[in-house]
Structure 1
């Protein structure tokens, strides 16, 4: 056995044991969340149609309902830890509250861009502690969740500006 193989084996033996995933439990979305999803989806689609929003921006705005539902489901999942639930709770509250960095009341559907970005940053944090399979189980979006997260993170500065992205990060990752 070469020295390189020995080092790889030694490193592999120092890795933590991989826990077998628990049985997946389907979770139904409570009616109040479903109503919010339906209203939000209809509102976004009407805004896009009325304002003639370009396809690229529309694709980001249309992520809002799917991200909201995902975060709401994670809040209800007993397999998700308290810290991850707190992060999901902050993101869900940000969706619901009328006061945020880009208020929907002033700019319509464009105001959901900051909500989408905050949700994606929250999911990145949640995926550190929660098994990816659990998170994917709750995802109803048509695109791959990790691809969506990557796409939004890469485009965040262009969508809302660096200042707002920084404020969103500070909102979500406040140091104690």
Structure 2
């Protein structure tokens, strides 16, 4: 792993925790989460997706809901909300670097990677505790971020990872 890859693999810098305010996931978001997860699980069963790829694809619903929750949280600044909004829009958009419409659930890999890079940027100004509060996933959210960033090039290729990073860095 070269120096740039090591730098990118490090967990993000996080602000110290502040008092938490509980957020309840609206029912329509919960239904979306359940439907997306069921659709992904069906794709994995039908296509016989390997276990490693499946573990990344199954992060999509958790990451989507996390980003949607951060967009609604009053403790999250406008810039971080914009970044979360961009990532949510990328999930929803039929036009992306690896379109789900053409290759099914495997097309969620670029969405997952963009979401993780977005979270890495969000964690620079949002308390880690706020992000953890909104996380539904079974694994530690910071561990997920580090693992996806470390494996991103192998999952979708360096060219797509670079395009995803560029998309987030546009002003």
Structure 1 length-normalised TM: 0.86
2:41 equivalent to 1:45: yes
Residue 163 of structure 1 and its aligned partner are, at CA, apart by: 0.8
**Of 94, 109, 115, the match for 1:98:** 94
Larger-Rg structure:
1
**Of 130, 133, 137, the match for 1:137:** 133
Residues 164, 130 of structure 1: alpha-carbon distance in 2 compared, 3 angstrom cutoff: same
Q: Measure the CA separation in 2 of the matches of 1:88 and 1:168.
A: 14
Q: CA RMSD in A?
A: 1.3
Residue 64 of structure 1 and its aligned partner are, at CA, apart by: 0.2
Partner residue in 2 for 1:119: 115
Task: Specify which structure has the bigger relative contact order, considering alpha-carbon pairs within 8 angstroms and separated by 6 or more residues.
Answer: 2
Residue 20 of structure 1 and its aligned partner are, at CA, apart by: 7.1
Structure 2 length-normalised TM: 0.88
Please, which moves more after superposition, 95-104 or 22-31?
22-31
Residue 44 of structure 1 and its aligned partner are, at CA, apart by: 0.3
Q: Measure the CA separation in 2 of the matches of 1:165 and 1:36.
A: 27
Residues matched between the structures, number = 157
Residue 36 of structure 1 and its aligned partner are, at CA, apart by: 1.7
List alignment gaps of at least 5 residues for structure 2.
Answer: 1-14
2:117 equivalent to 1:108: no
Partner residue in 2 for 1:67: 63
Q: Measure the CA separation in 2 of the matches of 1:117 and 1:76.
A: 22
2:148 equivalent to 1:152: yes
Residues 161, 31 of structure 1: alpha-carbon distance in 2 compared, 3 angstrom cutoff: same
Q: Measure the CA separation in 2 of the matches of 1:115 and 1:30.
A: 22
Please, which moves more after superposition, 59-68 or 34-43?
34-43
SS in 2 for 1:28: coil
Q: Measure the CA separation in 2 of the matches of 1:78 and 1:69.
A: 16
Instruction: Decide whether the 8 Å contact of 2:56 with 2:148 is kept in 1.
Output: yes
Residues 26, 53 of structure 1: alpha-carbon distance in 2 compared, 3 angstrom cutoff: same
Residue 32 of structure 1 and its aligned partner are, at CA, apart by: 2.7
List alignment gaps of at least 5 residues for structure 1.
Answer: 1-18
